[in-house]
A and B are shown apart, each in its own frame.
Chain A
């Protein structure tokens, strides 16, 4: 049963993507570490760090697509789960600093020392152990999503209303984490990390390792998502997306399906955040900013929602564009980014992948129908 579920997800197309990601996970670190810098095949550390970050965003986008593309829940607060996962990892990394902080306090992180904390707040306990932090990375976002979803889906809050209250959720968390009284570093957040699992976070080897871990997590998540959407439950999810009331009347407990996929998605977002933090070296409340969550939605839209490969491509492409534009056109890059969003929604409503698929399908059809040139309706079906 379980094996069937898992294997079912790995059809040929998904297999290719997973294999590609695994290959990237092995190849890129090798090209970075083993191949000498003089070689044209060398991947510089800068590129590695950059693409490591993109892959984290890709994982976030994938988790968002699972709920939006397959279940019709548009979350404008997925950044909150990402950030919570990041904070859990950040707390572990802070505890790893130990007495190497600037004040040399063996237990308290630096920001607590200069804000006169006498002892570690209760919720910081346990984070000195990696396994505990690793569990918290999925449990905290998962729990929040479960509670939030439990109320929201049972009350049948849907559509725009749900989107707005997810936004309210992340906004409330943003304000809360900004408060220094939260004991999580306030605006400065958590930073100045030294080690992860005993390895120096700044060393090239650790960076490569983190990159590989991110690519593998993405591969694994892709596989899980693929399994979920191909399972029977996945079909129900799509039914919920397309006609929620009808699915309910047929007799499915719609809210259970939604709650399951929502919580799963939040956990994946948490993992993405946890992988992100050691690579960028800081976690701070601005990750909760509603604008970040909206940007993640845009990656999915650009790539193509309702396809699993789409959000990955979208996240990498948009972020690459951002990196490129902020350096090449620092004064006007927002015009380019804004125009991209407008153009994609207008001309690529299915996103890049959806459009490519449509074009391929119509090309096949035309070839089948040739030589009698059939005029195809270029408009995508709604």
Chain B
């Protein structure tokens, strides 16, 4: 029964395909099919295999019906369902365990039914591409400029000569210069793929080479081997584009380096305070970062549960909380353990190592050993292009945030009474105490500050890293390297150290690979310390010798 049905559907598809082809040739403008025809085609989407579904998509697209784009859009997003018994294809929107159903052809709502009665129509990557191309062709004339641009980009990827008439029509109507250019490039890509005259193709190559990016390279490379003028022009264009890309690559490496450097800076700056200013080797520093990341996770969890609308603000809410949580734990560690160990820096190392084990295990017992999901708010997702450098928002914000934290700390240490007292205690504890500064209080607050800063670093790192109990361990050695390289007790040193190591790493990586690059950087630090045993920016004065 169902077999004959499938066969029938397949037959209909093939037939419609042919008919549609004629229709497309005869009248390229949007044609309206009858509801019944359309329904048959839509039902054919629920075919057995991906290839059959692909045929159905193409057949639908060829109708040129303006209702098709919505159906295909729903298919691409996984919102198209087929009834398990009825074999009717419908658009569904999940509502709890039910589906709110819409008729794909008439767009009328047809009630709510349990999801169990429907199967989702599966798509894979190939189908998704076909769908996008189909939607692209169908929406080239859309009223919405964003849709038109997306359509042009999608059509460009197909390089299908059959899209040329549609593109020509769209180009004639287009008023936006930017979109017009994309359409012309898409047309050029299609022309190159067609059997157009050589001169047309050379012109097309010029159009595409104008983009000067990877996409154009990807198109042009295919025609290097083409005979005659086309091959020559393509080769020349490829060389041009390659030169441009090489130039941008250097810039990209700097950006990658700055972004890695700012991650290192964030991870290390709390340590620069506890280690640099107080002389405490805090091996539990990484765990403070981890606790900051887990605070973010908990905040997001609560927001998801109680106030999903606030999700975009989750990081802003998490920042002060992470500072307070990590800071409070830091103060507790200082009061409970470290204050008994001042003057014995190497023993703080052992005690804090023990603390780090305890904190890790505590988090593991409470949250489990698995990664926790910390989502990116919308303003942290995606990327934009500057020339050929694609800058991701998450990295950009982390760079901005790192710089902000750095200057805020500088201001705190240099411009406030607390900072003054901290520096006094660092310089000479006895003398500061004699001047009436409550040194134990300053110690606790400074350690809390360092830990709190580590906590907010955790908020930022949760955006690009695993949130797991091992998060901190990955950063502890790097952080120590940054602080020691930059010079203990000097925040500027930490800044310069982090950026230098970040950029050095990123320039070495393309040549030496990620592992060797890192090894080189470590060896460089070891050698550098021989040359300047107190780091890049050594503090002058006697107190440090203690």
Contacts and interface: CB of A to CB of B under 8 A. Distances in A.
A145 to B, nearest CB: 13
A140 interface: no
A131 B338 CA distance: 49
A148 B523 CA distance: 11
Interface in A164-209: 164-165, 167-169, 171-172, 175-176, 178-179
A147 B299 CA distance: 51
A161 B544 CA distance: 12
Contacts of B365: 331-332
A281 interface: no
A297 B350 contact: yes
Interface in A149-175: 151-152, 154-161, 163-165, 167-169, 171-172, 175
Interface stretch (B20-28, B143-151, B524-532): B524-532
A165 B526 CA distance: 6
B518 to A, nearest CB: 6
Given A172-B522, A297-B350, A334 B480 contact: no
Contacts of B346: 74, 160, 163
Interface residues of A, number: 45
Contact of A340 (B354, B356, B477): B354
A342 B529 contact: no
Contact of B484 (A74, A155, A164, A298): A164
B477 A171 contact: yes
B351 A342 contact: yes
B66 to A, nearest CB: 57
B176 interface: no
B511 to A, nearest CB: 15
Among A169, A297, A338, A339: residue with most chain B CB under 10 A = A338
B360 interface: yes
Contacts of A297: 349-350
B351 A341 contact: yes
B522 A171 contact: yes
A338 B522 contact: no
A345 interface: yes
B345 A332 contact: no
Given A175-B518, A331-B365, A345-B341, A157 B353 contact: no
Given A163-B346, A165-B526, A168-B522, A155 B531 contact: yes
A34 B356 CA distance: 46
B522 A334 contact: no
Contacts of A172: 518-519, 522-523, 526
A294 B350 CA distance: 8
A345 B525 contact: no
Contacts of B362: 335
A346 interface: yes
Interface string B278-312: 01010100000000000000000000000000000
A308 interface: no
B340 A346 contact: yes
Contact of A337 (B341, B354, B481, B530): B354
Among B279, B343, B350, B488: residue with most chain A CB under 10 A = B350
Contacts of B518: 172, 175
Given A178-B515, A339-B354, A349 B529 contact: no
A267 to B, nearest CB: 21
Contacts of A176: 515, 519
A298 B353 contact: yes
Interface in B344-383: 344-351, 353-358, 360-362, 365
Contacts of A294: 283, 349, 353
Contacts of B337: 342, 345-346
A301 interface: yes
A215 to B, nearest CB: 28
B421 to A, nearest CB: 24
A337 B534 CA distance: 34
Contacts of A29: none
A301 B351 CA distance: 10
A290 interface: yes
Contact of A179 (B515, B529, B530): B515
B533 interface: yes
A167 B519 contact: no
B351 A346 contact: yes
Given A175-B518, A338-B354, A342-B355, A349 B347 contact: yes
Interface string A104-122: 0000000000000000000
A37 to B, nearest CB: 38
Contacts of A158: 533
A338 B477 contact: no
Contacts of A169: 522, 526
Contacts of B340: 346
A319 to B, nearest CB: 15
Contacts of B526: 148, 165, 168-169, 172
A345 B531 contact: no
A204 to B, nearest CB: 36
A262 to B, nearest CB: 15
Contact of A161 (B356, B361, B515, B533): B533
A168 B524 CA distance: 10
A331 B369 CA distance: 11
A186 B343 CA distance: 41
21 contacts: A148-B526, A151-B527, A152-B529, A161-B484, A161-B533, A163-B281, A168-B522, A179-B515, A298-B353, A298-B354, A335-B357, A337-B354, A338-B356, A338-B361, A339-B358, A341-B350, A342-B351, A345-B337, A345-B341, A346-B351, A349-B344
Closest 4 interchain pairs by CB?
A341-B354, A338-B357, A338-B358, A334-B361
Given A155-B529, A345-B354, 9 more contacts: A151-B530, A161-B535, A165-B529, A168-B481, A179-B515, A294-B283, A335-B361, A342-B337, A345-B341
